[in-house]
Structure 1
Amino acid sequence: MEFLSHPVTQKVIDHGLTYPQFVDFTAQLVLENRTTGGNQSEAYLDYTRMCLQRMRRWDKTAKVSAEMQNLIRSITEAQVWLLITEAWCGDGSQSIPYIAKLAESNPLIQLKIIMRDENPEIMDAYLTKGARSIPKLIVFTGDLKVELFVWGPKPEYLINRHKEYKHDSQGKAYKDFLEEIHLWYAKNKNQDLEAELFPLIQSTLIK
C-alpha cells in the first residue's frame, strides 16, 4: 500500500536509535535517575530500571525459531523497521529485544527506534483505537515509499486480557495485573509474538 503522506521521513530514520544504542541510552537514563517523556515520577523511574533489566535478560535468552530465521533470511529487498516506544514501556522491553534479533538476522533490514513523545505526528498516524499505545512496529520498503505492515502494541492475547481487566478487574489491583502480564511474557518466550509476526513478514516477500 502506498502511503505517500505518512510522516516517516529519511531524516526520522537517520536520527533514530539502533537497538544497541537504545539499550545504552536506557542504561544512561537509569544512571542519571531519569527517563524519557514528561513523566519523571518514581514509578516511571522504576519502570525504566525494570525495562533495562528485562532487555538485558532477553538479549541473553530470546530464541528465534529456525523457521523464522529462514523466513527473515529470505528477504531480498531492503526494509526499514521503525519502532515507536519509550524507555519506561514495559511491553516494549518484552518485545523489542526479540524484534531486534530478527532484524540482526538480515543485513537488508534496518531497525531504528524513536521515542513516542518526541514524535507526536508519527505516533498519531499509528494510533491503536485512538490511543498512543506502544510499542508500535511499522515496516517500510527501503525507500520508505511503501508501508508493508504495522504490528503492536502487544500480542493479541494480552490485548484481549487488558480488555477483560478493564471491563471487570475482579478486585485485582493494577500492580498485580501487571505482574500477571509480565509473568505471561516470561512463560510465553515470544512464541505469540513470533506467530503474529511470521505471516506479516511473509506477506512482504516478493513473489
Structure 2
Amino acid sequence: MIFNEASRHFSYPGFLDYAAQEVALNESRPERIADPKYAHYTKLNFQRMKRWDKTFVPDEQIIEQLKTAGPQEWWVITEAWCGDSAQNLPVIAALAREAGIPLHIVLRDENPGIMDQFLTNGSKSIPILVSFDQQGQQLFRWGPRPAAAQLLMEDWKANPAGRDFEAFELEMHRWYTENKGKDTQAAILDLV
C-alpha cells in the first residue's frame, strides 16, 4: 500500500498537536516560512478545526451505515495551512471516530510520491481521503471538497468577476459554515 511509504503519519489528535506546534513555531520564528500567508492560514485553520470539533455532530444514520460497511481504514493527505482541510478534516475525523474506523493523516509536502498518486485534475489539491479494506485494496477516494464547493471554486476560477482570492475565500468558508458538513458526510456515504 502506497501509504506505507509515508515519512510519518498522525492520528487526528496528533495532527491537531502538530498544527498547534506549527502555529507556535510560525509565531516565534517567522523567518522559517517562505510565504508569510501560510503562517496566517495555519493559525486561522487551526482555529477553524477547533471550532468544528466543538460544534459538529455527525449524522447518526450515516454513522450506522459506515459501521455496517465492513472493515476499512482511512488515510487523509493534507496540510495544516489548507482551508478546505480545516472545513472537512474534522468531519472526516468525527465520522471515523464514531464509526470505529482507523484514521491516519499524512502531510502532502512531506510525501510527494503519495500525493502524486492522488492528483485532482493534475493538481495537488487537498484534503484527499482514501479508504482501504483489510487487504490493502483501495475502496474509494474522496476530495478535495464537496461537489457544491468544487463548483464554487470552478466558477470563481472561470469568472472571478473582480473578486480577489480573499473575497472568494470568504465566500467559500461561508458556504462551509452554512452547510455544516452535510455535503461532506453525504459524499463519503455515497462512496462507501
**Structures share a fold, TM > 0.5?**
yes
Secondary structure of 2:125 counterpart: coil
Counterpart in the other structure of 1:187:
178
Counterpart in the other structure of 2:142:
151
Out of 44, 52, 58, the residue aligned to residue 50 of structure 1 is 44
Whole-Å separation in 1 of the counterparts to 2:157 and 2:121: 15
Out of 157, 161, 180, the residue aligned to residue 170 of structure 1 is 161
Question: Any unmatched runs of 5+ in structure 1?
Answer: 1-5, 202-207
Whole-Å separation in 2 of the counterparts to 1:156 and 1:63: 21
User: Which TM-score applies when normalising by structure 2?
Assistant: 0.92
Letter in 1 for 2:36: E
Q: Does 1:115 align with 2:110?
A: no
Q: 1:39, CA displacement in angstroms?
A: 5.6
The runs of 4+ residues in structure 1 deviating greater than 6 Å are none
Letter in 2 for 1:166: K
Whole-Å separation in 2 of the counterparts to 1:80 and 1:73: 12
Whole-Å separation in 1 of the counterparts to 2:15 and 2:134: 21
Counterpart in the other structure of 1:89:
82
What is the aligned-residue RMSD (CA, Å)? 1.8
Out of 125, 128, 146, the residue aligned to residue 136 of structure 1 is 128
Question: Any unmatched runs of 5+ in structure 2?
Answer: none
Letter in 2 for 1:188: N
Contact in 2 for aligned 1:45/1:88 (Cα 8 Å): yes
Contact in 2 for aligned 1:55/1:97 (Cα 8 Å): yes
Q: 1:169, CA displacement in angstroms?
A: 0.8
Whole-Å separation in 2 of the counterparts to 1:164 and 1:39: 31
Counterpart in the other structure of 1:69:
63
Contact in 2 for aligned 1:84/1:135 (Cα 8 Å): yes
Whole-Å separation in 2 of the counterparts to 1:53 and 1:40: 22
Letter in 2 for 1:8: F
Q: 1:72, CA displacement in angstroms?
A: 2.1
Secondary structure of 2:117 counterpart: coil
Greater helix proportion = 2
Q: Does 1:8 align with 2:3?
A: yes
Letter in 1 for 2:172: I
Secondary structure of 2:85 counterpart: helix
> Alpha-carbon deviations, 1:151-199, whole Å to 9, x = none?
0000111111111111111111211000000011011000111111112
Q: 1:83 to 1:166 in 2, by over 3 A?
A: same
Secondary structure of 2:140 counterpart: strand
Q: Does 1:99 align with 2:92?
A: yes
Q: Does 1:60 align with 2:54?
A: yes
Matched residue pairs, number? 189
Secondary structure of 1:124 counterpart: helix
Contact in 1 for aligned 2:6/2:111 (Cα 8 Å): no
Whole-Å separation in 2 of the counterparts to 1:90 and 1:181: 9
